[in-house]
């Protein structure tokens, strides 16, 4: 069995969605790790997943996971699959209600030592964990692996600022969203947040800002990446994870901040058009969206 070029460390979740008008979407594949890996498949990768999976996941969802991802790093656990109600209000508020009793294995596992040895030499790794967990996972990979750290949403609070700052020099790329970074630093201006993370040791920052696009920066340059317009936005859930996974692939291929950002923005646009994890998109549409960004920049 071949080893994947890129790996995504995160979670596999199932969502049962209730919309404000009473419509429902049941048994929707989700989880930050899967969304990030989906961003990689937009650009023709077959990423390895490092996650846990329950003993009652449906054959259809399992078949889909096996279709798109390398599953050597997925650990079977003897519990019902992580599943939650997602209740949406008209004002955009979302309430999450877990439908299972055992949650911890799906949030915290696999442990780094449970990752398959075949993943060690991955060229790139997207890690959706806390700062301490990121560093522990990093130690299991080759020194040549390029790491993108997407901090867990719940981790991004002011109380964790010291650990967040300690972790930044260990990353090759860090990609929080604007709200998360604001909660850690107590700042609201995107450029100030970029400067703060770079000054604290980050090498590359990809700051996600929703429909405002993203800011991508190193110490040498800062690039504004526009959001890619889509005919209809269906669901924003997972678009940020998808962006980050695709950014890593774009950076590995081009070593160019702007082009990596374009890879990310295009992938995120497909995530907006579906409920749950995206399917591999039409390559012609993908390439047209990418070329449109290049043309707008005069490239």
Strand partners, 75: 52
Mean pLDDT for all residues in the chain:
96
pLDDT at 1: 61
pLDDT at position 299 over 70: no
Average of pLDDT values for 241-266? 98
Q: What is the pLDDT of residues 119-155, one digit of tens each?
A: 999 999 999 999 999 999 999 999 999 999 999 999 9
Whether 115 is in a domain gets the answer yes
What's the structural domain count of the chain?
Answer: 1
Tell whether omega for the bond before 110 is within 30 degrees of 0, i.e. cis: yes
Per-residue confidence (pLDDT) for residue 92, from 0 to 100: 74
Which of residues 234 and 254 earns the better pLDDT score? Answer: 254
- 242 has a pLDDT exceeding 80: yes
Structural domain of residue 156, as residue ranges?
6-296
pTM: 0.95
Give the list of residues 6+ apart from residue 20 with CB closer than 8 angstroms, or none.
Answer: 88, 89, 90
Q: Does some domain include residue 1?
A: no
Average pLDDT over residues 157-176: 98
Does the pLDDT of residue 80 top 80, yes or no?
yes
Mean pLDDT for the stretch of residues 150-179 = 97
The domain that holds 119 is classified in CATH as 3.40.1190.20
């Amino acid at each position: 069995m071949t080893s994947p070029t890129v790996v995504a460390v995160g979670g596999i979740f199932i969502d049962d969605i209730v919309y404000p008008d009473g419509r429902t979407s049941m048994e929707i594949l989700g989880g930050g790790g899967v969304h990030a890996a989906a961003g990689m498949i937009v650009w023709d990768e077959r990423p390895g997943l490092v996650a846990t999976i329950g003993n009652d996941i449906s054959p259809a969802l399992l078949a889909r996971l096996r279709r798109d991802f390398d599953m050597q790093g997925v650990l079977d656990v003897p519990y019902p699959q992580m599943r939650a109600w997602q209740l949406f209000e008209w004002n955009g508020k979302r309430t999450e209600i877990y439908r299972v009793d055992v949650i911890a294995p799906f949030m915290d596992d696999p442990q780094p030592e449970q990752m398959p040895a075949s993943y060690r030499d991955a060229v790139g790794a997207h890690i959706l964990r806390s700062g301490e967990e990121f560093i522990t996972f990093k130690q299991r990979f080759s020194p040549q692996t390029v790491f993108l750290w997407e901090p867990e949403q719940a981790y991004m609070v002011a109380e964790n600022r010291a650990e967040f700052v300690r972790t930044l020099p260990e990353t090759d790329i860090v990609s929080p969203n604007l709200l998360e970074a604001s909660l850690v630093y107590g700042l609201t201006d995107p450029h100030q947040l970029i400067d703060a993370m770079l000054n604290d040791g980050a090498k590359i920052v990809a700051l996600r800002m929703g429909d405002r696009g993203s800011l991508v920066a190193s110490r040498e340059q800062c690039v504004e990446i526009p959001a890619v317009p889509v005919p209809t936005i269906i669901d924003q859930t997972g678009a940020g994870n998808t962006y980050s996974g695709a950014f890593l692939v774009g950076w590995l291929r081009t070593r160019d901040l702007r082009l990596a950002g374009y890879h990310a923005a295009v992938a995120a646009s497909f995530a907006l058009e579906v409920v749950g994890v995206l399917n591999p998109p039409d390559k012609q549409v993908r390439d047209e969206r990418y070329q449109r960004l290049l043309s707008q920049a005069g490239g």
